[in-house]
């Protein structure tokens, strides 16, 4: 593997209207290296069978691939046991599993659920539903002007009434890295559990769930080079043991009688039905690829790139940046607006230059309202991006206002 990471990604070799693809929407999904594509292809070409169900060689091999990936994820996250790793289809399903299996059974009337205002809808809407169903109270942690969570907010909002804190590790809008270890310390001191949305952290920086002391931690494979349709829920064993199943059906049972059923032990209890073994094999290959580079190397490369990008964007006087104060605790997510131009128009104009960014509310309506905007543009970086990608973005942005008949200042 060379440092020319782009060469490993077939889609990054394509051109649009003779323009090379500048892909800056990695917060939504990442592109796939050839090794991951080939791993998925190999599974369906040579190993496709239903895991855990057959006593024949092909099924045994499919089971081996699936369970080996589980153990690889355990090691990748620093979890204590493979039984604490539950496969889902994405972070959203993982969060819903926790909300319905833990929240609906262990949150009571009057309990407080603490969220940050910067949560993705997938870590907000499920807790709204739990609060409504159980008579619990939602409390929000509000970010400062630079997007960080003030210590005073944490100390004032996490109280003796708090039973659960649901928090993003990294904001998908602002790219701010939240102080998860400090949050778990405060929450555990009052007997609350902590649910961490790691969808935007796991692909970009080293994560150890035991060091963070997270009770639950979730992520999506497709945001870290793996295929869509495979995700992970980590949960502490004692909590998962106490929770009822989320889905019912085949492969999550031990015995079924006419009137009663006993459920399989962890992790099978939460994995009803035929699982996405091809996706698991792709996830395994993605972890191999990332570890070959090294997450600390990826983190440092992205920090260098985001510093460069923000410095260049600040040269354009009509750009407003959000959450770009202190760059120490920030990943490569940059939200901005262009004066007088709607983000959707900005995105369309950049697309004509082969540049892919995100425009909209980014599944974070409450944060948008808090920031006083309806939408933003978002450029989200990954290790295969380069300074030339940033130069292309800035060059295209320098012409956006002119395209729509506005002056450049």
Residues with a catalytic annotation lie at: 363
Contacts of residue 348, defined as CB under 8 A and 6 or more positions apart, other chains included, come to: none
d(CA 260, CA 364): 42
Furthest C-alpha separation in the chain: 75
- CB-based contact 120:363 (threshold 8 Å): yes
Helices 277-293, 34-42: axis angle to 10 degrees equals 150
- Take residue 57 and report the two structure tokens written for it: 């060689």
- CB-based contact 231:95 (threshold 8 Å): no
SS3 content of the chain, % helix, strand, coil (to 5): 45, 20, 40
- CB-based contact 51:267 (threshold 8 Å): no
Closest C-alpha to 173, from 332, 385, 317, 341: 332
């Amino acid at each position: 593997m060379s440092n020319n990471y782009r060469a490993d990604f077939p889609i990054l070799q394509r051109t649009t209207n003779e323009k090379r693809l500048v892909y800056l929407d990695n917060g939504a999904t990442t592109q796939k290296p050839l090794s991951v594509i080939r791993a998925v292809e190999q599974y369906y070409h040579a190993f496709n069978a239903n895991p855990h169900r057959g006593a024949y060689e092909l099924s045994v091999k499919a089971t081996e691939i699936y369970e080996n990936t589980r153990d690889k994820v355990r090691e990748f996250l620093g979890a204590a046991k493979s039984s604490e790793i539950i496969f889902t289809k994405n972070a959203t399903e993982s969060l819903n599993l926790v909300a319905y299996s833990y929240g609906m059974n262990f949150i009571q009337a009057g309990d407080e659920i603490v969220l940050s205002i910067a949560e993705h809808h997938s870590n907000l809407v499920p807790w709204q539903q739990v609060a409504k169903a159980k008579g619990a109270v939602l409390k929000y942690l509000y970010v400062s002007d630079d997007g960080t969570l003030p210590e005073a907010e944490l100390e004032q909002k996490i109280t003796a009434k708090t039973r659960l804190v649901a928090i993003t590790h990294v904001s998908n809008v602002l790219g701010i890295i939240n102080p998860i270890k400090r949050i778990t310390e405060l929450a555990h001191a009052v007997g609350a559990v902590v649910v961490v949305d790691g969808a935007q952290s796991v692909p970009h920086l080293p994560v150890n769930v035991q060091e963070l002391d997270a009770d639950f931690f979730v992520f999506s494979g497709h945001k870290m080079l793996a295929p869509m349709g495979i995700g992970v829920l980590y949960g502490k064993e004692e909590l998962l043991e106490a929770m009822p199943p989320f889905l019912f059906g085949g492969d999550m049972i031990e015995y079924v009688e006419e009137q009663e059923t006993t459920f399989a032990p962890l992790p099978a209890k939460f994995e009803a039905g035929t699982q996405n073994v091809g996706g698991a094999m792709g996830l395994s290959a993605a972890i191999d690829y990332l570890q070959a580079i090294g997450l600390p190397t990826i983190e440092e490369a992205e920090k260098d790139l985001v510093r460069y990008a923000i410095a260049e964007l600040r040269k354009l006087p009509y750009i407003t940046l959000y959450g770009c104060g202190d760059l120490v605790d920030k990943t490569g997510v940059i939200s901005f607006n262009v004066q007088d131009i709607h983000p959707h128009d900005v995105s369309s104009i950049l697309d004509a230059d082969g540049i892919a960014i995100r425009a909209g509310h980014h599944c974070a309506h409450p944060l948008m309202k808090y920031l006083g905007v309806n939408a933003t543009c978002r450029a989200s970086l990954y290790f295969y991006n380069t300074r030339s990608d940033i130069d292309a973005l800035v060059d295209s942005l320098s012409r956006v206002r002119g395209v729509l008949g506005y002056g450049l200042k």
